[in-house]
Structure 1
Amino acid sequence: MTEAEGDRIVVDNLTKAFPRPGRRTPDLEVLSGVSFTVRSGEFVTVIGPSGCGKSTVFNMLAGLESPDSGSVEFLATDGENTASHCAYMPQKDLLFPWRTVLDNTILGLRVQGVPKPEARRRARELFPAFGLSGFESARPSQLSGGMRQRAALLRTVVQDRELLLLDEPFGALDSLTRTNMQSWLQEVWQRYRWMVLMITHDIREAVYLSDRVIVLSARPATVRRELRIDLPRPRDLSTITSPEFVALEEELLAILHEESRRASAHDGDQL
Structure 2
Amino acid sequence: MTDDVRRLVVDRLTKSFPRPGREQPPRHVLDAVSFTAEPGEFVSVIGPSGCGKSTIFTMLAGLDVPDSGSVTVGADLAIAGRCAYMPQKDLLFPWRTILDNTILGLQVQGVPAAEARLRAAELFPTFGLSGFEDARPSQLSGGMRQRAALLRTVVQNRDLLLLDEPFGALDSLTRTEMQSWLQSVWQRYRWTVLMITHDIREAIYLSDRVIVLSARPATVVREALVELPRPRELAVLTSPEFVALEEDLRAVLHDEARRALAEQTDPGPTISH
Fold conserved between structures, TM > 0.5: yes
Q: Does 1:265 align with 2:262?
A: yes
**1:71, CA displacement in angstroms?**
0.6
In 2, the alpha carbon distance for the partners of 1:34 and 1:257 equals 20
Contact persistence 1:47–1:216 (CA under 8 A):
yes
Q: 1:194 maps to what in 2?
A: 191
| Contact 1:7-1:37 within 8 A present in 2 as well | no
Supply the distance in 2 between the matched residues of 1:132 and 1:119 (Cα, whole angstroms). Answer: 16
Aligned: 1:144 with 2:141? yes
Q: Does 1:232 align with 2:191?
A: no
SS at 2:149 equivalent? helix
What secondary structure does 2:198 align onto? coil
Contact 1:7–1:38 (8 Å) recurs in 2? no
Q: 1:221 offset after TM fit, Å?
A: 0.8
CA contact (8 A) 2:5 2:75 kept: no
Which of 1 and 2 has greater Rg?
A: 2
Q: Counterpart of 2:35?
A: 36
Within the candidate set 217, 223, 241, 2:214 is matched to: 217
Match of 1:75, as an amino acid?
Answer: G
The aligned counterpart of 2:271 is none
Task: Say if 2:43 and 2:209, in contact at 8 Å, map to a contact too.
Answer: yes
- The aligned residue for residue 123 of structure 1 is 120
Structure 2 counterparts to residues 64-213 of structure 1, below 5 A:
64-77=63-76, 81-213=78-210
Is contact 2:5-2:73 (8 Å) kept?
no
> What SS is found at the alignment partner of 2:157?
coil
**Secondary structure, aligned partner of 1:96:** coil
TM-score, length basis structure 1: 0.95
SS at match of 2:7: strand
- Residues 29 and 129 of structure 1: CA distance in aligned 2, closer, same or farther (over 3 Å): same
1:241-260 alignment, distance < 5 Å = 241-260=238-257
- 8 Å contact 1:123–1:158 — kept in the other structure? yes
**Number of matched pairs:** 266
Aligned partner of 2:11: which letter? D
CA RMSD of aligned residues (A): 1.6
SS of the equivalent of 1:214 reads strand
Residue identity matched to 1:66: V
CA distance, structure 1, for counterparts of residue 160 and residue 36 of structure 2: 12
The aligned amino acid for 1:111 is V
> Secondary structure of the residue that 2:257 maps to in structure 1?
helix
Tell me what 2:59 maps to: 60
- The amino acid across from 2:254 in the alignment is H
Deviation at 1:263, TM superposition (A): 1.5
Output the amino acid matched with 1:120: R
Give unpaired runs (5+ residues) of structure 1.
none
Shift of 1:269: 3.9
Over 3 Å counting, the alpha-carbon distance change for 1:76 and 1:12 in structure 2 is closer
Question: Secondary structure in 1 aligned to 2:8?
Answer: strand
Q: How far off is 1:24 after superposition?
A: 1.8
Which residue identity lines up with residue 268 of structure 1 in the other structure?
Answer: T
Output one character per residue of 1:157-207: Cα deviation in whole Å (capped at 9) or x when no partner: 000101000000000000000000000000000000000000000000000
Give the drift of 1:264: 1.6
Instruction: Give the secondary structure class of the aligned counterpart of 2:251.
Output: helix
Q: CA deviation at 1:261?
A: 1.0
Unaligned runs of 5+ in 2: 269-273
2:69 is matched by which residue type in structure 1?
G
